[in-house]
Amino acid sequence: MTIEQLTSAYKAAYQKSATDIFFSPGRVNLIGEHTDYNGGFVFPCALSFGTYLLMAPNDEQKMNFRSLNIDATYSLPLTQLTEVLPNKAWANYPLGVIAQFIKRGVALTHGYDILFWGNVPAGAGLSSSAAMEVVTAFAFNELLGTGYDRTELAKIGQKAEHEFAGVMCGIMDQFASAQGKQDHAIYLNCDTLHFDLVPIKLEGIKVVIANTHSPHHLDSGAYNDRVRQCQLAVQQISAVRPIKNLAELSQADFLQVETVITDPVAHRRARHVVGEVQRTMDAVQALQQGNIELFGQLMTQSHISLRDDYEVTGPQLDALAEAAWKIDGVLGSRMTGGGFGGCTVSLVKDEAIPTFIERVGKEYTEKTGLKADFYIAEIGDGAHRVR
């Protein structure tokens, strides 16, 4: 939708004009999966699509939430903004953010009429939830003059997801949505939150996202299971070598201590994390040196580890990645996001893109009965005011 269409939709919903419009993007992670909550490196970039928030103050002492993507509407008095809504209500994502402002001592003197619209494909693993959290945090930070920096806004979004959506996510999604920069990826240390913006220079190559249309469900419990399994590995390793996060271990370190992990599932999870942290460091170095072929190889290795050791890919993501690996002109392909459905991300030479879309799409449908969608990724800016 255009901004004009959105403003018209707002007026139809609330019988008045929006005073402010904000935007935050979704993200795609090029490499470094399930490392963020383990204190490791990730390498996401913000996308050109995301979530818009239109709002205006009201005199009702209520917060009103509407979405053009979802029918359910919510109206809450200012006295009930720190309570989780039942039945996994979509409004828990912005509500959880507002609750974080209140918990930090920020006073709300009046309500707002809020309307969301997002063009991140739902359930695609491209962080539609983080985009909604960050756009809410950015908007209230601007309007209330709280002065939080973008890193703090990312933390607020993460905390909202923990407490109101029940997903013990890492910081990557919210951080990428807040800190993204056009034509750059974010090399983020999830332990220290130190980051570098790395230019993405892919001459004759595009980042292509393929959507399985098998929606992922991070709140299904499988994601939180992985968090607990990694915590078990940390606990057992700490008996011989005290650590806070798995990412503190090099691959050589891990070989020395891995035998103390008595749970075989926790052992595989830890092996993935340690290897993925190294792959991410190697991939960023390869990109900076212009070695895109190596970057692509590391992406493929990442998917294999996510499939075999972390077990978060599933038949749909595997079908897309394995079909991509057969195409001349594909440098690498892997799942992106939390997994359990969602999307793959591939590096594809320009001349191979039509063949890639045709053959990967055909093989995917033959294997799964589903139809994939393909997007040429455009790397955009992080959260900002539209007007």
CA distances from 11 to 54, 57, 77, 159 (A): 10, 13, 22, 32
Contact 316, 327 (CB under 8 A): no
Nearest to 29 by CA among 187, 150, 168, 163: 187
Nearest to 329 by CA among 354, 359, 351: 351
Cα–Cα dist 139/125, whole Å: 24
What's the farthest any 2 CA atoms get from each other in the chain? 66
Alpha helices in the chain (DSSP H): 3-14, 92-103, 128-144, 150-160, 172-179, 222-237, 251-257, 264-288, 292-308, 314-325, 353-368
Element (H, E) at 104: none
Residues present in the chain in total:
387
Q: Which two tokens stand for residue 340?
A: 């359990």
In a structure prediction context, what are the per-residue pLDDT tens digits for the chain, which is 387 residues long?
Answer: 999 999 999 999 999 999 999 999 999 999 999 999 999 999 999 999 999 999 999 999 999 999 999 999 999 999 999 999 999 999 999 999 999 999 999 999 999 999 999 998 766 777 889 999 999 999 999 999 999 999 999 999 999 999 999 888 889 999 999 999 999 999 999 999 999 999 998 999 999 999 999 865 555 588 889 999 999 999 999 999 999 999 999 999 999 999 999 999 999 999 999 999 999 999 999 999 999 999 999 999 999 999 999 999 999 999 999 999 999 999 999 999 888 889 999 999 999 999 999 999 999 999 999 999 999 999 999 999 999
Contact 44, 185 (CB under 8 A): yes
Q: Which two tokens stand for residue 147?
A: 């002065």
Domain-by-domain residue ranges, the chain?
A: 3-199+381-385, 205-376
| Beta-bridge mates of residue 346 | 208, 333
Question: What is the reported pLDDT for 201?
Answer: 87
Whether 173 is catalytic: yes
CA distances from 264 to 34, 160, 253, 258, 268 (A): 18, 32, 18, 10, 6
Q: Which CATH architecture has domain 205-376?
A: 2-Layer Sandwich (3.30)
Domain 3-199+381-385 class, CATH top level? alpha beta
Q: Which two tokens stand for residue 292?
A: 């895109």
Question: What is the reported pLDDT for 216?
Answer: 58
C-alpha 268: how far from chain center: 23
Active-site position among 71, 113, 149, 173: 173
Contact 238, 2 (CB under 8 A): no
Element (H, E) at 77: strand 74-77
- Residue 63 DSSP SS3: strand
Question: What is the reported pLDDT for 215?
Answer: 64
Q: Torsion angle, CA of 196/197/202/203, rounded to 10 degrees?
A: -120
C-alpha 189: how far from chain center: 15
